[in-house]
């Protein structure tokens, strides 16, 4: 079953890649406090993830912060070494935090795992807005490319929630 609006973020062991060291932690510790934008990609260094999905979030950090987002986190089903190398090479490290879900446990727990030909289990492409550990909005990409799960769509949802508040 796919995680939905109103659901609590599950607690699953993950590795958090930030500007400092890589830390063993849990998904609820990373995603459970404040307003968090969490987006998942099928893989580090993969073409769409690398050139279309991640850059939109990294380039718009100031806009997300202005809309009350405390942290932006990218999740990938890769080991923490690959995830760190991608974060550093993309120059997004320090703007975006990265979660390495090496065996796909978090992807499974959220119901957002998907089998990709030649790649095995990965995150489906998605983005979500989380407030104090509760999913407020979920945007799952059902077609190729980055539309509903990209930074512009998430920014529009955040703006709309401010207008209706």
pLDDT at 148: 87
Mean pLDDT by 10 residues, the chain (165 residues): 96 93 96 97 81 91 97 96 95 95 96 80 92 97 82 95 73
What CATH number did the domain enclosing 63 receive?
Answer: 3.40.30.10
pLDDT at 2: 92
- The answer as to whether 152 is a domain residue is no
Q: Which residues pair with 36 in a beta bridge?
A: 71, 130
Q: Which residues are CB-neighbours of 20 under 8 A, at least 6 positions away?
A: none
- The answer as to whether 5 is a domain residue is no
Work out the widest C-alpha separation in the chain, in whole angstroms: 45
One of 16, 31, 41, 49 is an active-site residue; which one? 49
Domain that holds residue 95: 13-122
- The answer as to whether 155 is a domain residue is no
- The answer as to whether 79 is a domain residue is yes
pLDDT at 105: 97
Two tokens, residue 52: 């279309």
- The answer as to whether 165 is a domain residue is no
* DSSP 8-class letter at 53: I
Q: In angstroms, what CA-CA distances link 96 with 12, 24, 90, 99, 130?
A: 20, 17, 10, 10, 15
Residue 74 annotated among the catalytic residues of the structure: no
- The answer as to whether 136 is a domain residue is no
CB contact at 8 A, 105 and 28: no
- The answer as to whether 4 is a domain residue is no
- The answer as to whether 38 is a domain residue is yes
State how many domains the chain has: 1
Q: End-to-end distance of the chain based on CA atoms, in angstroms? A: 30
pLDDT at 165: 57
Instruction: Count CB-CB contacts under 10 A for residue 92.
Output: 20
pLDDT at 81: 95
């Amino acid at each position: 079953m796919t995680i939905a609006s109103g659901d609590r973020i599950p607690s699953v062991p993950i590795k958090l890649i930030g500007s400092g060291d890589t830390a063993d932690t849990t998904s609820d510790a990373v995603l459970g406090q404040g307003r968090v934008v969490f987006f998942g990609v099928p893989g580090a260094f993969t073409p769409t993830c690398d050139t279309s999905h991640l850059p939109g979030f990294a380039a718009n950090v100031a806009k997300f912060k202005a809309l009350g987002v405390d942290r932006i986190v990218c999740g990938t089903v890769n080991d923490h070494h690959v995830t760190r190398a991608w974060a550093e090479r993309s120059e997004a490290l320090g703007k975006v935090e990265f979660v390495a879900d090496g065996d796909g446990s978090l992807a499974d727990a959220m119901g957002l795992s998907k089998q990709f030909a030649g790649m095995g289990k990965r995150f489906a492409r998605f983005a979500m807005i989380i407030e104090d550990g509760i999913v407020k909005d979920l945007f799952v990409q059902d077609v190729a490319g980055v539309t509903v799960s990209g930074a512009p769509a998430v920014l529009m949802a955040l703006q709309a929630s401010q207008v209706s508040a």
